[in-house]
């Protein structure tokens, strides 16, 4: 067994020494420091550069020795040949954690690997734990934002932890979360993993109260047994969503050259994922889609109702459901009769429920209520939203109709759609079952103010831009729920 390292100084430092600070804005020594300061790290930060002087008005320290306060975390961006002595110096100063951004070690060949091992040995012997080298950095949202990353995307605080064995995948994925309004608790680009490994970080997130969903991009594992043991423990409590790089032989060769990771058999890896409750996905978009679905109430089964404001969306959604193993339950006659009293004369009288552009929003919400109360419905898809606001915004920009009339009518339209979204959020809570809005791409493009999508975002309900992605995400979450039920039984 292994001891769990105390990673508090890494994720919740009170003081940071930034070793290798630079005023050259083409260098990481500028950019990473700039990001930490710009994003408002609330502790003390000490820029260090032998030249001393200042960093855009802040005191620049010539050496660690000039700092009197104890340092929790060293962020190291000095050039490769200086990293070893920098780490030695950190150890002398009893700094418990370091992030080595600098590259040029094991990823470059045997000489780099030897140097990297020496650095790790020095750190470990001195009680210093390291992320990297060759890492894109670390982001931690609590207790205050520490944005020690190469990437400048303005990530927001939330409950998703992200472990990435690739800096650029970490950046791409976390930006996608930002864009879909999903917050991050911690983001760790593990780099070469000379000391702290993905396994260590996973076990840290296991007990991190700020993290409720864990996402990973992995190319290879140093301790697969330990990793999957942890996954099996964690997945019933915190869903794990994973992308595996290097699945094909040629991809594995590329991964080897990238992080030195040895990939092993893809089939065995995927089977281990299934057995331990991990949700394995193929793409970044799929990852974000599934995380959004995990934020809804978890579906108790695979029986879905499809409510649509247009026939075609209902058809492609039904195809997608059947292909993905969801059940589009036929409606029973008493329910159809009830709905006949609510719905326009020419509604589809079946599931999908094509409401044929109903005149009032209450028609939609009354239909959902009937389904939730009287049908075997584990989840509801709501297709074709966002058009009312889109059209209303178009009126406002028109010079064909009088401005006053345009304003009055567009307000009515926008507030109707807004009311619908409020009711959807309310019903998700009341029935504790997912109601999944599918909102066409165009609605996402309406500027902030007056955009009803914003309301859903604010309430943690992620809309999907097309039927297929919504359906796929739900199917994956249903499969996850089934898997962890049997996992809990096996373990119980």
CB of 103 or CB of 123, closer to its own copies: 103
Report, in Å, the least distance between residue 34 CB and its own copies. 6
Q: Which stretch binds its own copies (CB under 8 A): 90-98, 194-202, 277-285, 334-342?
A: 277-285
CB of 90 or CB of 163, closer to its own copies: 163
Report, in Å, the least distance between residue 70 CB and its own copies. 26
Short-list 269, 265, 142, 120, CA closest to 197:
120
Report, in Å, the least distance between residue 386 CB and its own copies. 11
* Helix (H) or strand (E) run with residue 417 in it: helix 403-431
Give the CA distances from residue 350 to residues 115, 167, 306, 328, 337, in Å, rounded to whole numbers and listed in that order.
68, 48, 10, 10, 11
CB of 329 or CB of 422, closer to its own copies: 329
Please tell me whether residue 245 binds its own copies under the rule CB under 8 A: yes
The distance from CA 464 to its chain's CA centroid, rounded to whole angstroms, is 15
Please tell me whether residue 390 binds its own copies under the rule CB under 8 A: yes
Fill in the per-residue mask, 147 to 166: x = in contact with its own copies (CB under 8 A), - = not in contact.
Answer: ----xxx----------xxx
Alpha helices (H) in 93-248, listed in sequence order: 110-125, 167-179, 198-206, 224-234
CB of 177 or CB of 483, closer to its own copies: 177
Please tell me whether residue 448 binds its own copies under the rule CB under 8 A: no
Helix (H, G, I), strand (E, B) or coil at 372: helix
Please tell me whether residue 38 binds its own copies under the rule CB under 8 A: yes
Query: What is the rounded CA–CA span in Å between residue 148 and residue 36?
Result: 6
Report, in Å, the least distance between residue 400 CB and its own copies. 6
Please tell me whether residue 449 binds its own copies under the rule CB under 8 A: no
CB of 387 or CB of 431, closer to its own copies: 387
Contact between 355 and 368 under an 8 Å Cβ cutoff? The reply is no
CB of 127 or CB of 350, closer to its own copies: 350
Please tell me whether residue 249 binds its own copies under the rule CB under 8 A: yes
- At residue 289, what are phi and psi to the nearest 5 degrees? -55, -40
In 234-297, the DSSP E strands lie at 240-244, 279-281
Residues 185 to 244: which contact its own copies by CB under 8 A? 217, 219, 243
Report, in Å, the least distance between residue 92 CB and its own copies. 30
By CB neighbour count within 10 A (0-12 exposed, 13-18 middle, 19+ buried), where does 489 fall?
exposed
Contact between 112 and 87 under an 8 Å Cβ cutoff? The reply is no
Instruction: Give ∠ CA 396-399-404 in degrees, rounded to 5.
Output: 55
Residue with tokens 């983001």: 187
Give the residue, chosen from 247, 418, 433, 476, that forms a contact with its own copies under the rule CB under 8 A: 247
Residues 53 to 112: which contact its own copies by CB under 8 A? 56, 103-104, 107-108
Pairing of strands 73-76, 15-19: parallel
CB of 316 or CB of 427, closer to its own copies: 316
Q: Which stretch binds its own copies (CB under 8 A): 66-74, 343-351, 429-437, 448-456?
A: 343-351
Q: Which stretch binds its own copies (CB under 8 A): 1-9, 87-95, 365-373, 404-412?
A: 404-412
Edge-to-edge order in the sheet of strand 240-244 = 146-149, 137-140, 184-189, 157-164, 213-218, 240-244, 279-281
CB of 18 or CB of 97, closer to its own copies: 18
Q: Which stretch binds its own copies (CB under 8 A): 10-18, 291-299, 341-349, 447-455?
A: 341-349
Query: What is the rounded CA–CA span in Å between residue 105 and residue 108?
Result: 6
Fill in the per-residue mask, 278 to 317: x = in contact with its own copies (CB under 8 A), - = not in contact.
Answer: ----xxxx-----------------------xxxxxxxx-
Please tell me whether residue 440 binds its own copies under the rule CB under 8 A: yes
Residue with tokens 């249903």: 478
């Amino acid at each position: 067994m292994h001891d769990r390292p105390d990673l508090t100084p890494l994720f919740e430092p009170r003081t940071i020494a930034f070793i290798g600070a630079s005023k050259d804005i083409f260098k990481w020594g500028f950019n990473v420091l700039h990001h930490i300061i710009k994003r408002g790290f609330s502790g003390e930060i000490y820029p260090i550069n032998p030249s001393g002087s200042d960093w855009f008005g802040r005191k620049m320290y010539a050496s660690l020795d000039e700092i009197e306060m104890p340092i929790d975390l060293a962020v190291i961006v000095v050039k490769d040949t200086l990293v070893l002595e920098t780490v030695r110096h950190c150890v002398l100063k009893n700094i418990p954690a370091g992030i080595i951004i600098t590259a040029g070690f094991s990823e470059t060949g045997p000489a780099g690997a030897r140097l990297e091992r020496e650095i790790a040995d020095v750190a470990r012997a001195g009680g210093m734990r390291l992320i990297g080298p060759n890492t894109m950095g670390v982001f931690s949202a609590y207790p205050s934002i520490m944005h020690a990353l190469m990437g400048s995307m303005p990530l927001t605080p939330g409950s998703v932890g992200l472990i990435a064995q690739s800096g650029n995948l970490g950046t791409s994925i976390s930006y996608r979360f930002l864009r879909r309004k999903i917050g991050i608790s911690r983001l760790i680009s593990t780099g070469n993993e000379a000391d702290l490994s993905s396994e260590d970080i996973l076990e840290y997130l296991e007990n991190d109260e700020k993290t409720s969903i864990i996402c990973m991009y992995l190319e290879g594992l140093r301790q697969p047994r330990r990793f999957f043991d942890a996954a099996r423990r964690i997945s019933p409590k915190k869903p794990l969503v994973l992308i595996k790089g290097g699945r094909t032989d040629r991809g594995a060769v590329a991964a080897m050259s990238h992080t030195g990771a040895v990939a092993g058999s893809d089939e065995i890896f995927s089977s281990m994922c299934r057995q331990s409750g991990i949700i394995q996905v193929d793409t970044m978009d799929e990852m974000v889609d599934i995380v959004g679905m995990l934020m809804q109430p978890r579906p108790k089964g695979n029986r879905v109702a499809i409510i649509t404001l247009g026939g075609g969306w209902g058809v492609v959604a039904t195809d997608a459901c059947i292909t993905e193993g969801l059940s589009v339950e036929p409606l029973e006659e008493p329910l159809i009769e009830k709905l006949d009293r609510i719905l326009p004369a020419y509604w589809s009288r079946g599931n999908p429920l094509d409401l044929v552009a109903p005149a009032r929003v209450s028609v939609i919400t009354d239909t959902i209520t009937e389904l939730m109360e009287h049908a075997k419905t584990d989840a509801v898809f709501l297709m074709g939203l966002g058009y009312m606001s889109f059209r209303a915004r178009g009126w406002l920009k028109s010079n064909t109709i009088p401005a006053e009339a345009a304003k009055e009518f567009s307000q009515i339209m926008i507030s109707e759609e807004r009311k619908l979204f409020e009711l959807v959020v309310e019903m998700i809570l009341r029935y504790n079952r997912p109601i999944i809005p599918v909102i066409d791409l165009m609605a996402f493009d309406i500027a902030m103010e007056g955009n009803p999508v914003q309301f859903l975002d604010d309430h943690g309900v992620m809309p999907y831009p097309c039927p297929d992605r919504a359906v796929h995400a739900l199917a994956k979450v249903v499969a996850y729920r089934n898997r962890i039920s049997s996992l809990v039984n096996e373990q119980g």
